[in-house]
Amino acid sequence: MPAAGAALLALALSVTVLALPATAAAAAAGFSCRPGARPVLFNFGDSNSDTGGMAAAMGWNLTRPEGRAFFSHPTGRFCDGRLTIDFLCESLNISYLSPYLKALGSNYSNGANFAIAGAATLPRDVRFALHIQVQQFLYFRDRSLELISQGLSGPIDAQGFQNALYIIDIGQNDVNALLDNFPYDQVLAKFPSILAEIKGAVQTLYSNGSRNFWIHGTGALGCLPQKLAMPRKNDSDLDQYGCLKTYNRAAVTFNAALGSLCDQLSTQMKDATIVYTDLFPIKYDLVANHTKYGFNNPLMTCCGHGGPPYNYDINKGCQSPGVTACDDGSKFVNWDGVHLTQAANAAVAAKILSSQYSKPQLKFDKFCRV
């Protein structure tokens, strides 16, 4: 591994931050939008921020324990409660984002969520890939403006679309799939294709009037129970906290390239605001310093099967018959082997809102517009 890459990994893995209680992320950040503000937010991504899109698209009727920690019933989120995107919405004093594909009970007055479980950047034209999500947004925008031009009620007007914040949180499925199927050097060689799709999405949105972007890097992939439970010859690839070094090294490298891409786009789009947030040190710290957050089992799945050390079985997921969840999800980082618990999502959102891991270090209240 090149010296620069090794130094980058060492820096990311050494980051430790004082923990914040897993309470309301807006309070932790020290602000919320003032009365009268009407922020608009559009989100593009995968299951980490899917608020029910895949459930609506596929007709999935998820059952408890999904949603038990907050909503008291399943909402299509792969979590026991709120996702990071939900806490970000709370910080803006807006309703949780309705999935674009949810026909009933949706409210699009403050934006829409195009994120779909399983989504990736490539292949670009398959169902729910990032490119397709952007095309869905353009259809949503055109239809909304068309209704308004006809004197009818549209959820968002032209100014709302221009002032809106556009969040992109995707790439985890791309990187994971590559790591599962290719040698490490070939994985790195394919990163430019993923980044090109993210770049293309930002450019398309920009050319259609979008000016505010918040782009997230990927998390600590090597700390996911799903990956740790895969058969391995020995434990030589585990770091001091029990995470897979190869997966985490790839995540750090991908994020460094994504951050550089955001710098490039900021230079090219001088009238746009492009914020990049590195989620790797945020999510890695949940494991490395888990006791500070009140977590007891940083590498175990709360809702899974198989018992210690990971309680994960690829053939028996959280929704499988006979699978039970832990008694207290607030003591766990991971909900189902892939996704975070509500408690972990609250901690992640608080760190995002702090701007400590963002470049430039802008506060979310920048998007509180009256």
Question: Which residues are tagged catalytic?
Answer: 47, 336, 339
**Cα–Cα distance, 126 to 147 (Å, whole number):** 29
**Dihedral sign, Cα of residue 14, residue 17, residue 23, residue 25:** negative
3-state SS class at 36? coil
**Cα–Cα distance, 342 to 347 (Å, whole number):** 9
Bridge partners for 42 per DSSP: 112, 166
Task: Please say whether the beta carbons of 83 and 49 come within 8 A.
Answer: yes
Bridge partners for 244 per DSSP: 238
Q: For the chain, how are helix, strand and coil distributed in percent, rounded to 5?
A: 40, 10, 45
Of 170, 73, 160, the closest CA to residue 124 belongs to 170
Which DSSP state fits 48? T
Tokens of 364: 């979310």
Long-range contacts for 153-161 (Cβ within 8 Å, ≥24 apart)?
A: 155/108, 155/109, 156/40, 156/108, 156/109, 156/111, 158/209, 160/38, 160/40, 161/40, 161/209, 161/210
